[in-house]
Structures are given as structure tokens and as C-alpha cells.
């Protein structure tokens, strides 16, 4: 319980410091404070002055951040400049789309990676290992955006791009982890004594490698979320990744900062969830 | 594996030489438009055909490779220097410095790489000259890509700080900065080299992703990311295979870095 509280406190600290950095960057970005409305010739000088006064409040960085933080705590994440809609509403619409895409991609990527890593390690043939490493190496060298373009051309499901972005990294970690585990003296002895491959895997390898595999699971969420940007942008999927891309092109900084904050929280939660699960597993096997 | 590594070095050397000498063997300037020949297939005049604006694709691939292959190592050098400054020095000093540096590293690492790049890139002007866009893109990669390397270097420096020979040097009266420069940094060199090599393919791929999304190097200057944008209008593997040349080159170069890396990582 104390560990959980410590994790939550650390997460809150990271979000607060990250928010301050983001707010500072938004405040210092070129064009901050400029409002097209000030050029509207129909507005009187008093109205233009009132607009300037309203913007002047945001010039003080700590004040700007506190104001932003206060609104965020009340659930008001501001309004997107390019889409003219509340950020909260946009996130509520698009987050489930990205969650489904990333979830399916992670499952498929992990399935392929673990299967190939198991095959390469358990076959104990250099040719199998080399083949699996080559396959993973090729996908590691292709940008996710290129994969997305090729999948659009082939009319293949977009979640497979996420899977292919996650697969090579998970494969290389899993393969190295399994190879190390299979080389442990007690496992070599068990193998020499004729223990079946399935039993060896379930009873001896997975408890050793499980904790570290869970840590990789946390990292793979971050990889999948990163890959979601080109995939959604190029495959025309209305998710958070596409929103981030549109916000970047339109220099919609309030939207982009909120999106980055949200994705950071999701990544942190995934990493710490994986860490806690790993600690739980470690205590059980100890 | 040794032969594969030798082949990887050879390939990297060939591509680098070809791109460095782009001015010598490119049949045309990267921006020159043959207006009578847009979207032409390969011919004697245009070895890889032309793009939709009639620009010689072979020349653009050569010049684009130069941009990516020169700027990615420059960005990697910057990020490794920053990592040394943050991680190496913090690991050596220890205590409060180390805790603060690792907290900053954690903050950077908790943000997904592409989201962070997009957010910071969007805060800078998008409508800039091509040369400025190269500087902005690769400076950004260098300035934001130090966190993972800093963690590794911090661990290395911490190990050296507690080692016997550093303790003995300190007991002999060697001052902090001198100790750092003479004993700690030279011993961190294998880790520094490995981190430098790891960063290059990461930055090449990141630039490609940014370029395809329209946030990388501006036209008409070519880079691998910009060249790969052409795949948006790709219609057939059989009839337009030459459009895949930049992709094949990118995969070969990045794979070569990975193969060479597998050895450097062992040294680190």
C-alpha cells in the first residue's frame, strides 16, 4: 500500500513538473498572445484593449501555469484553437479509438514476438535464431510511418502496423531474456535430466523471466502510443495520434500540451503497473 | 557474423561516400525541375525516374542521403554530449545532483518520443527556410534524445566513482574536475561510443517519421523522410518499384548500424 502511494505521489510530481515545463514552452512559443481578433476593424479600441488585457494575464508564467492547473483540476482543459472545440470533448471522443487500436496492436505484437522468441530459443538451431533476428531487424529498421503508408496501399488493418512497431523490440528483449534463462545452470541440469520443453518453460523459465517481461510490457505501451501518431495520421483514423498530428501542423499548443500530458500519464501508469505486477510476481516466486 | 559486420561497414562506407560526392555524380541539382518529364520511369537520363515535379529522383536520393547521414550523427553527437553532461557528471558527483539529474531523465523518458518531438516541433515556427528546417529538426532530435543515454552513463560514472583506482587518485590529492577528465571520462568511452552509435539509427528513423508527417526537413531540400513521402502516391509494387529505392536504402543503412551496434554494445 505504501509503495502504491509512493508511486502515485511520484506520478503526481512528474505530471506537475511536466505541466510546468509544458506551460513554460507554450508561454515562450513564438506567436503566443497574438489574437487575430485584434485585427478585426469592427472592434472598437476599448474592445481591443479589453482583449489585450485578457491576454496580458497569461504573460506571467507562474500565473499562467496556476491558472491552467486550476482549470485542469476542474476538468476544463481549454479549447482547441484549430478545431474550436473543448479539448475534453475531443479527448473523450478519440481516446477510445486509440485505446482499441493500441490494445489490438499490442496484443498482436506481443503474440508474434513471444512466439518467434520461443521458437528461436527452444529450437536451439543457429539458423532459426538468425532468421528470427533478421525478421525483427528488418522491422526495426522501417519507420512506423512507412509501414502505415504501405498498409494503406495494401488495405491491411492499421493495428498490424502498431503490432509491427512493437514486435521487433519485444522480440529482441524476450529472445535475450529467454536465452539467458535457458542458460542458467539449474535449467541446463533439468534439460539434461529429460524435463519436457513445456514443463521447463512453464515451471522454470517463465518465473525467472516473467518479472523482466512485465517491465518490457510497460515500455511497449509507450512504443505503441508513439507509433499511433503516424498510423492514425496516415490511415485516417480519428484517434488521439491523429489529433496530435493535426495540432502540431496547426500549432494548436494548448491541445498538444494536454495530449502530451495525458499520454505521459498513461505511459507512467503502464510502467508503474508493470513494475508493481513484476514485484508481486517476484515475491510469489521467491 | 564477422562477415555480416564487414559487409555492414562496407555498405555504410559506400552510401556515405556516394552521398558525400553527390555534387560530383548526381546528374542534376536536387531542385532542378524537368518540366517536360514529370513522373517519368527510369531511363538513361534519369536513372530512378523523376518525381511529380519532374525532379531527378537519383539526384534527390543522393542529396537526401547526405542530409540524413551527416545530420543524424551530428544530432547523436549533441545528444551524447548532453547525456555525458547530465548523466556522467551527475553519476560522478552523486547525492543530490544525481537524484535531480535522474528525476529529469525519468521525466523525459516517461513522455513517448514522437509525442514529445511533435509537441516541441510545433512550438517552433513551421514556415522556415529548408536549411533552417534541417537545423531545427536535427537540433531537436539531439536536444531531446539524451535521456536514455544519460541513464546509462550515470550508472557507468557511479560505478567508476566507487572504484578503487578513483578512490586512490582522490587520496593522492587529485582534484574533482581533473579526476573526471583524466580517469572517469576515458573509462566511460566505450559506453559513450555505444550510446552514440545507438542514437544514429534512432534519429534517422525519427527524421523519416517526422518527414513523412510533414514536420521534418522542408522542400525542396531532400531528406530520407521527405523522399519517403512520395510513397503516399504509390500505386503498384511492380510498376513503380523504383519509388521504393529510398526505403530500401534507409532499411539497409539502419540495419547496418544495428549490426555494427551488436558488437559495440558488448564493449559497452
The percent of residues above 70 in pLDDT, for chain B, comes to 95
Is the Cα dihedral B181, B184, B190, B191 positive or negative?
Answer: negative
B266 has pLDDT over 50? no
List helix spans (H) across chain B: 2-20, 22-25, 57-83, 89-93, 95-109, 113-123, 130-144, 147-161, 164-171, 176-179, 185-212, 224-228, 245-267
Question: How close does chain B come to A187, measured CA to CA in Å?
Answer: 24
What is the structure's pLDDT at B95? 84
DSSP for A204-246 reads IIHHHHHHHHHHHHHHHHHHHHHHHHHHHHHHT--SHHHHHHH
Cβ of A149 within 8 Å of Cβ of B232? The answer is yes
Cβ of B201 within 8 Å of Cβ of A257? The answer is no
Pick A137's closest partner by Cβ from B107, B114, B258. B258
Cβ of B212 within 8 Å of Cβ of A234? The answer is yes
- pLDDT mean across residues, chain B: 85
Report how far residue B64's alpha carbon sits from residue A260's, in angstroms, rounded to the nearest whole number: 31
In chain A, helix, strand, coil percent, each to 5?
80, 0, 15
Report how far residue A41's alpha carbon sits from residue A37's, in angstroms, rounded to the nearest whole number: 9
Report how far residue B89's alpha carbon sits from residue B85's, in angstroms, rounded to the nearest whole number: 6
- Do A109 and A164 touch, CB atoms closer than 8 A? yes
The percent of residues above 70 in pLDDT, for chain A, comes to 88
What is the structure's pLDDT at B268? 42
Give the mean pLDDT of B155-165: 86
Query: What residues pair up with A86 in beta bridges, in sequence order?
Result: A79
Find, among A131, A26, A136, A16, the residue nearest to A81 by Cα: A26
Is B116 within 8 Å of chain A by CB? yes
Q: What are phi and psi of B31, to 5 degrees?
A: -100, -5
Please tell me whether the peptide bond between A234 and the residue prior to it is cis, using omega within 30 degrees of 0. no
DSSP for B112-124 reads -HHHHHHHHHHHS
CB < 8 Å to A268, chain B:
110
B146 has pLDDT over 60? yes
What is the structure's pLDDT at B267? 42
Q: What is the pTM of this model?
A: 0.83
Find, among B80, B85, B68, the residue nearest to B134 by Cα: B68
Report how far residue A170's alpha carbon sits from residue A222's, in angstroms, rounded to the nearest whole number: 12
Q: For each successive 10 residues of chain A (286 residues), what is the average pLDDT?
A: 73 75 69 65 76 67 75 79 84 92 94 90 81 86 90 88 92 87 83 81 80 83 89 90 86 78 83 78 60
Cβ of A143 within 8 Å of Cβ of B209? The answer is yes
Please report the ipTM that was assigned to this predicted complex: 0.83
Cβ of A257 within 8 Å of Cβ of B126? The answer is no
CB atoms closer than 10 angstroms to residue B38: 14
Find, among A94, A85, A72, A97, the residue nearest to A20 by Cα: A72
Give the mean pLDDT of B197-222: 88
pLDDT in tens, A227-275: 999 999 988 899 999 998 888 888 777 787 788 888 888 888 888 888 7
Question: A193-212: buried (b, 16+ CB within 10 Å) or exposed (e) per residue?
Answer: eeeeeeebbeebbeebbbbb
pLDDT in tens, B35-75: 888 888 888 888 888 888 889 999 999 999 998 898 999 99
What is the structure's pLDDT at B250? 93
Give the mean pLDDT of B157-186: 84
Is B4 within 8 Å of chain A by CB? no
Query: SS3 of B50, please?
Result: strand
Separation of CA B219 from chain center: 20
CB < 8 Å to B208, chain A:
143, 145-146
Report how far residue B118's alpha carbon sits from residue B144's, in angstroms, rounded to the nearest whole number: 11
Pick B251's closest partner by Cβ from A141, A226, A244. A141
Pick B114's closest partner by Cβ from A146, A229, A247. A229
Separation of CA B237 from chain center: 29
Separation of CA A261 from chain center: 11
Q: Which residues contact B233 (CB under 8 A, 6 or more apart)?
A: B52
What is the structure's pLDDT at A33? 63
Q: Nearest 5 degrees, angle CA A105-CA A110-CA A111?
A: 100
Is B125 within 8 Å of chain A by CB? yes
Find, among A150, A132, A128, the residue nearest to A140 by Cα: A132
Amino acid at each position: 500500500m505504501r509503495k502504491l502511494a509512493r508511486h502515485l505521489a511520484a506520478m503526481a510530481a512528474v505530471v506537475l513538473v511536466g505541466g510546468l515545463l509544458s506551460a513554460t514552452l507554450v508561454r515562450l512559443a513564438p506567436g503566443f498572445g497574438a489574437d487575430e481578433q485584434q485585427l478585426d476593424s469592427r472592434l472598437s479600441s476599448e474592445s481591443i484593449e479589453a482583449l489585450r488585457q485578457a491576454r496580458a494575464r497569461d504573460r506571467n508564467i507562474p500565473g499562467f501555469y496556476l491558472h491552467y492547473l486550476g482549470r485542469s483540476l476542474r476538468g476544463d482543459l481549454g479549447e482547441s484553437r484549430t478545431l474550436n472545440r473543448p479539448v475534453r470533448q475531443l479527448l473523450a471522443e478519440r481516446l477510445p479509438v486509440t485505446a482499441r487500436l493500441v490494445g489490438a496492436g499490442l496484443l498482436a505484437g506481443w503474440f508474434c514476438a513471444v512466439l518467434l522468441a520461443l521458437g528461436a530459443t527452444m529450437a536451439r538451431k543457429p539458423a532459426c535464431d538468425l532468421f528470427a533476428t533478421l525478421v525483427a531487424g528488418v522491422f526495426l529498421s522501417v519507420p512506423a510511418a512507412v509501414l502505415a503508408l504501405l498498409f494503406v496501399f495494401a488495405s491491411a488493418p492499421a493495428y498490424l502496423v502498431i503490432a509491427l512497431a512493437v514486435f521487433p523490440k519485444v522480440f529482441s528483449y524476450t529472445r535475450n531474456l529467454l536465452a539467458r534463462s535457458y542458460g542458467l545452470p539449474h535449467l541446463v541440469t533439468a534439460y539434461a535430466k529429460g524435463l519436457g520443453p513445456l514443463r521447463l518453460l512453464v515451471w522454470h523459465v517463465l518465473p525467472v523471466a516473467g518479472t523482466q517481461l512485465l517491465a518490457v510490457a510497460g515500455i511497449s505501451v509507450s512504443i505503441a502510443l508513439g507509433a499511433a501518431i503516424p498510423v492514425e495520421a496516415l490511415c485516417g483514423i480519428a484517434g488521439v495520434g491523429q489529433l496530435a498530428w493535426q495540432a502540431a501542423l496547426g500549432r494548436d499548443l494548448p491541445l498538444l500540451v494536454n495530449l502530451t500530458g495525458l499520454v505521459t500519464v498513461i505511459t507512467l501508469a503502464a510502467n508503474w503497473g508493470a513494475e508493481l505486477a513484476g514485484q508481486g510476481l517476484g515475491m510469489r516466486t521467491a | 557474423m564477422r562477415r555480416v559486420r564487414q559487409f555492414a561497414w562496407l555498405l555504410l562506407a559506400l552510401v556515405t561516400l556516394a552521398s558525400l560526392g553527390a555534387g560530383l555524380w548526381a546528374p542534376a541539382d536536387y531542385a532542378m525541375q524537368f518540366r517536360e518529364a514529370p513522373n517519368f520511369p527510369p531511363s538513361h537520363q534519369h536513372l530512378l525516374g523523376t518525381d511529380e515535379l519532374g525532379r531527378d529522383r537519383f539526384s534527390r536520393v543522393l542529396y537526401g542521403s547526405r542530409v540524413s547521414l551527416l545530420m543524424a550523427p551530428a544530432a547523436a553527437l549533441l545528444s551524447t554530449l548532453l547525456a555525458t553532461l547530465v548523466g556522467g557528471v551527475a553519476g560522478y558527483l552523486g547525492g543530490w545532483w544525481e537524484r535531480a539529474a535522474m528525476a529529469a531523465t525519468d521525466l523525459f523518458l516517461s513522455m513517448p518520443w514522437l509525442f514529445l518531438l511533435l509537441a516541441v516541433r510545433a512550438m517552433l515556427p513551421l514556415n522556415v527556410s529548408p536549411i533552417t528546417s534541417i537545423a531545427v529538426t536535427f537540433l531537436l532530435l539531439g536536444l531531446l534524445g539524451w535521456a536514455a543515454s544519460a541513464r546509462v552513463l550515470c550508472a557507468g560514472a557511479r560505478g567508476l566513482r566507487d572504484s578503487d583506482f578513483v578512490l586512490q587518485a582522490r587520496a593522492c590529492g587529485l582534484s574533482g574536475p581533473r579526476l573526471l577528465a583524466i580517469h572517469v571520462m576515458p573509462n566511460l568511452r566505450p559506453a559513450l561510443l555505444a550510446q552514440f552509435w545507438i542514437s544514429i539509427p534512432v534519429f534517422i528513423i525519427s527524421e523519416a517519421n517526422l518527414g513523412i508527417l510533414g514536420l521534418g526537413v522542408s522542400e525542396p531540400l531532400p531528406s530520407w523522410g521527405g523522399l519517403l513521402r512520395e510513397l503516399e502516391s504509390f500505386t503498384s509494387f511492380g510498376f513503380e518499384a523504383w519509388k521504393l529505392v529510398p526505403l530500401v536504402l534507409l532499411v539497409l543503412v539502419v540495419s547496418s548500424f544495428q549490426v555494427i551496434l551488436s558488437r559495440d554494445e558488448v564493449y559497452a
